Structure 1
Amino acid sequence: MKQITKQITHVIAALALTWSAGAMALILGPADADKTVDVGPPNPALDAGDVAALFGTSDLTLLYKSNYEGPEEGSYQSFYSTSFTGDPNNAVISWDGPDYIVCPECYLVVKDGNEPQYLFNIGSWNGQDVLDLQGFYPNRGAISHVAIFGKSVPVQVPEPGTLGLLGLGILGMLTIRRKLQKPA
């Protein structure tokens, strides 16, 4: 009985650890920014080339962008969503799947209409954890959009394909044949 209780405890602990690992968030605020850019009014949005120049790299593309009260853009727009709160001075970028951004090199931009833009190097982000943006423009201004630029590596999930399914079918047929041929 003690052995069964011990095994159940281990299973529950493993499930709790798995569940908690999936609930990770990268919390970022203005003080965490790697760069702050104030180009003054009218404060045009930074594009991939601007972000690349600021970080001394090249060949960045817009992976995801969410405009406050507006459309989402970028090659991963179908796989992420953003909810804005406050003025808005907070935003949460969530992965909706199934595809996700793999960042060997990724940068997040938080922009307001006339205030400084905050840039973050999020190259260590796994593309699935929540990006929790807190405390931007508390005294005046608000987040107008958030954008992720990068050199993303496509995630390729292998599919069994025709040969894989054929192989599984043959294995199943062989198993059934062996069971039928065994003497009773």
Structure 2
Amino acid sequence: MKLSKMKIAAVSTMAGLMFSVSAHSALISCNTDPTINYMQISDTQASACLASGVGNLNGNPASDLFLTGAGSDYELASKSDSSNPYNLSYGSDPNTWEFDSNFWNDYSEAALGFKFGTGNQPDEWFVFSLQSLVSSGQWSFITGSDIRPTGGGLSHMNLYGKKGDFTVPEPGAVALLGLGLVGLTIARRKKKAA
């Protein structure tokens, strides 16, 4: 009897280990033409590249190239070089970005814009939609094969938000724990009664 319980435990442990193998992330590229500048972010942080191009991302709803185009349903939430209520910041070596996670209390979707000083060589700016609740990550900027590297690197970042309906998740774990406790109580009472 003890031997079969040990076998079951060993098989269960092995099955658990097989299913707990870590998954590797893929990179999302903003621009697929390797002859011009492009960016990459892990798909654990971003869900898609929304837009890229030449020009500036200034955060002004009337002239920002993202807000007047693909991002017309977003609004500027924070900017690393001026109005910055969500403390949007970036670092280098490694290339990182982060902002205050309280952003997610105010917005249901996020997009992160990067503006590079490339000497007006394409592409200069890139915008990625972020995975829900992500507030930090890493990025890569790759100079295109037909581009002579000029400019001063990352100029600034913009955090765009989209307000929407917020759904509060049902506390399923608490309910499951409660059902387990009720089951244990009933089992204990049946044992006492017997």
TM-score, normalization by structure 2: 0.51
- Deviation, 1:149, is 1.8
Give the whole-Å Cα distance in 1 for the aligned partners of 2:103 and 2:18.
29
Give the whole-Å Cα distance in 2 for the aligned partners of 1:8 and 1:85.
42
Other-structure match for 2:92:
85
Other-structure match for 2:58:
45
CA gap 1:114/1:174 in 2 versus in 1, 3 angstroms: closer
What one-letter code is carried by the residue in structure 2 that aligns with 1:36? G
CA gap 1:158/1:63 in 2 versus in 1, 3 angstroms: same
CA gap 1:97/1:154 in 2 versus in 1, 3 angstroms: farther
CA gap 1:48/1:97 in 2 versus in 1, 3 angstroms: same
**What is the count of residue pairs matched by the alignment?**
156
Other-structure match for 1:183:
193
Give the whole-Å Cα distance in 2 for the aligned partners of 1:3 and 1:172.
25
- C-alpha contact (below 8 Å) 2:108/2:161 kept by paired residues: no
- Deviation, 1:113, is 5.8
Give the whole-Å Cα distance in 1 for the aligned partners of 2:183 and 2:84.
51
CA gap 1:65/1:13 in 2 versus in 1, 3 angstroms: farther
Cα RMSD of the aligned pairs, angstroms, is 4.6
- Deviation, 1:159, is 6.6
Give the whole-Å Cα distance in 2 for the aligned partners of 1:135 and 1:112.
11
**Structure 1 residue 54 corresponds to structure 2 residue 58:** no
Partner of 1:16: helix, strand, or coil? coil
- Deviation, 1:27, is 5.8
Give the whole-Å Cα distance in 1 for the aligned partners of 2:112 and 2:102.
21
Which structure 2 residue ranges, 5 or more long, are not aligned? 1-5, 32-36, 40-48
Other-structure match for 2:168:
157
Other-structure match for 2:84:
73
Equivalent residue runs for 1:12-27 within 5 Å: 12-17=17-22, 20=23, 26=28
What one-letter code is carried by the residue in structure 2 that aligns with 1:153? G
Runs of 4 or more, structure 1, over 3 Å off, are 1-6, 23-30, 63-67, 94-103, 112-117, 135-139, 152-160, 171-184
Higher helix share: 1
Which structure 1 residue ranges, 5 or more long, are not aligned? none
- C-alpha contact (below 8 Å) 1:112/1:143 kept by paired residues: yes
- C-alpha contact (below 8 Å) 2:115/2:157 kept by paired residues: yes
TM-score, normalization by structure 1: 0.53
- C-alpha contact (below 8 Å) 2:117/2:151 kept by paired residues: no
Provide, for residues 46-94 of structure 1, a one-character-per-residue CA deviation record: whole Å limited to 9, x for no partner.
4344222132x53421234434xxx7825xx26xx644115xxx73235
Identity among equivalent positions (%) equals 16
